């Protein structure tokens, strides 16, 4: 294969000229620090073009750590005896969400394991979940993202009616063989279809990749294609965080470089979308490098005194209060970034719901 030169690729990226598969793979595989910094600089320039110096801050309520599934990578997996199991009551969830709203977050993310009490308990279970969303929306007035795993379409419709604006449900990988090793006994098609359905009922959708679990560069490029076809308004990646007592623990932690390269390439391919820098991978110490790679959302902000655990970093930086709006301000300043206003976020959401829901998917950067 002819040697690929970085300059023309970055020039195409800056002018939003679609990149070829080989060019994208070249960027993903970069290891030279100076070259990677040039890619990150291009990513930051593109982020600035659409978002100036603004970042969006998402408050998290991990309200149940019970799960009916056994994902090979996950702390909440049903057979992990080491998982700290809890299920917050509706009033506790509302209390925590209101406290988060007070700190200035622009969205409340309600995350749970696929808790059988909600998802395998017939109408009553679904109703309790819908009620939690309704109460959080009513009491905070904030945009709400739900991350409940796979739910029936009818239930998703009710969750949207109750106030859920976003649906997050990550495929992890679009390589079906790898998917089967990650999300044990879970249908690939079902998990994909409910996201597509969410789009048809006007919800904003987040798609996500898990890296460092046997994925190859071609898998990641294929995932970018799937994200494009889905029209996901928020796209993310997270490095695998090994969990004691789980099947993939022996894989160990991947090198962060791939996650950072992916964030930058996502910014180049989807310049006008939301791309998280998750605190649930490396905590506060990992925030600046993820933002410098082009991310523009800080996720997994968790209040320190509420008995909540993250899903990949169950305790890191939580009790210390580092995963709070106040706790991240220095890192934001170091990156030359400031929190966006709630009005700006709501306006962005409204625009996307109007424009991306229809055929006009905006100028995509993939040339296929």
Shortest reach from residue 236's CB to ligand SAM, in Å? 8
**Contact pick of 113, 149, 286, 310 for ligand MD0 (by CB under 6 A):** 310
Could you say whether residue 276 binds ligand MD0 (CB under 6 A)? Answer: yes
Decide the pairing of beta strands 54-64 and 107-112: parallel
Asked if 147 interacts with ligand MD0 (CB under 6 A), we say yes
Distances (CA, A) of 339 to 124, 185, 211: 39, 40, 28
310, 325 contact by CB (below 8 A): no
| 158 versus 259: smaller Cβ distance to ligand MD0 | 259
- Written in H, E and C, the secondary structure of 80-131 is CCCCCCCECCHHHHHHHHHHHHHCCCCEEEEEECCCHHHHCCHHHHHHHHHH
Q: How far apart are CA 72 and CA 182, in angstroms?
A: 5
> Considering the rule CB under 6 A, would residue 172 count as an interface residue with ligand SAM?
yes
CA 8 to CA 365: how far, in whole Å?
15
311 contributes a contact to ligand MD0 by CB under 6 A: yes
Look at residues 17, 15, 21, 24 and name the one whose alpha carbon lies nearest to residue 6: 24
Which of 43, 57, 119, 210 binds ligand SAM (CB under 6 A)? It is 210
Provide, for the chain, the percentages of residues in helix, strand and coil under a 3-state DSSP scheme, each rounded to the nearest 5.
Answer: 45, 15, 40
Beta strands 204-211 and 166-168 are: parallel
**Alpha helices per DSSP H over 141-216:** 153-162, 176-182, 188-200
Binding ligand MD0 (rule: CB under 6 A), the pick from 100, 108, 109, 113 is: 109
The span of 24-32, 198-206, 238-246, 250-258 binding ligand SAM (CB under 6 A) equals 238-246
Q: Is 80 in the site for ligand SAM (CB under 6 A)?
A: no
Buried b (16+ CB within 10 A) or exposed e, 142-161: bbbbbbbbbbeeebbbbbbe
Taking CB under 6 A as the rule, does residue 71 contact ligand SF4? yes
Does the protein bind ligand SF4 through residue 310 (CB under 6 A)? Answer: no
Among 64, 65, 80, 111, binds ligand SAM (CB under 6 A): 111
Smallest separation, CB 111 to ligand SF4 (Å): 8
Within 10 A of 81 (CB to CB), how many other CB atoms are there?
A: 7
Q: 173 is in the binding site of which of ligand SF4, ligand SAM, ligand MD0, none (Cβ under 5 to 8 A by kind)?
A: none
Nearer to ligand SF4 by Cβ, of 187 and 341: the residue is 187
Binding site residues, ligand MD0, CB under 6 A:
109, 111, 145, 147, 168, 276, 278, 280, 299-300, 310-312
Binding site residues, ligand SF4, CB under 6 A:
67, 69, 71, 74, 76-77, 113-114, 149
Binding site residues, ligand SAM, CB under 6 A:
73-74, 111, 113-114, 147, 149, 169-170, 172, 208, 210, 238, 240-241, 243, 311-312
């Amino acid at each position: 294969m002819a040697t690929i030169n970085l300059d023309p690729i970055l020039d195409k990226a800056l002018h939003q000229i679609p990149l070829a598969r080989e060019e994208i793979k070249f960027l993903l595989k970069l290891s030279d620090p100076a070259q990677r910094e040039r890619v990150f600089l291009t990513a930051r320039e593109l982020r600035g073009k659409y978002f100036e110096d603004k970042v969006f801050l998402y408050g998290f309520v991990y309200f149940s750590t019970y799960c009916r599934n056994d994902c090979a990578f996950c702390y909440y997996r049903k057979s992990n005896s080491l998982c700290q199991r809890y299920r917050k009551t509706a009033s506790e969830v509302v209390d925590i969400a209101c406290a988060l709203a007070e700190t200035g977050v622009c969205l409340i993310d309600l995350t749970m394991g696929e808790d059988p009490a909600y998802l395998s308990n017939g109408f009553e279970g679904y109703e309790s979940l819908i009620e939690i969303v309704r109460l959080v929306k009513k009491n905070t007035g904030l945009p709400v993202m739900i991350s409940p795993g796979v739910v029936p379409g009818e239930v998703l419709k009710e969750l949207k009616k109750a106030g859920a604006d976003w649906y997050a449900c990550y495929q992890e990988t679009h390589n079906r063989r790898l998917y089967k090793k990650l999300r044990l006994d879970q249908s690939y098609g079902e998990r994909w279809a409910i996201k597509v359905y969410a789009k048809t009922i006007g919800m904003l959708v987040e798609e996500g990749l898990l890296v460092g679990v046997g994925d190859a560069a071609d898998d990641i490029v294929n995932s970018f294609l799937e994200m494009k076809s889905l029209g996901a308004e928020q796209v993310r990646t997270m490095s695998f965080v090994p969990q004691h007592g789980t099947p993939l623990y022996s894989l160990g932690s991947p090198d962060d470089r791939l996650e950072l390269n992916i964030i930058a390439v996502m910014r180049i391919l989807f310049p006008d979308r939301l791309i998280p820098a998750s605190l649930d991978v490396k905590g506060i110490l990992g925030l600046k490098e993820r933002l410098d790679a082009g991310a523009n959302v800080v996720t997994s902000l968790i209040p320190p005194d509420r008995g909540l655990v993250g899903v990949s970093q169950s305790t890191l930086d939580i009790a210390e209060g580092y995963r709070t709006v106040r706790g991240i301000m220095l890192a934001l300043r170091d990156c030359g970034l400031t929190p966006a206003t709630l009005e700006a976020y709501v306006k962005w959401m409204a625009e996307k719901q109007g424009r991306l829901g229809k055929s006009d998917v905006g100028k995509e950067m993939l040339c296929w």
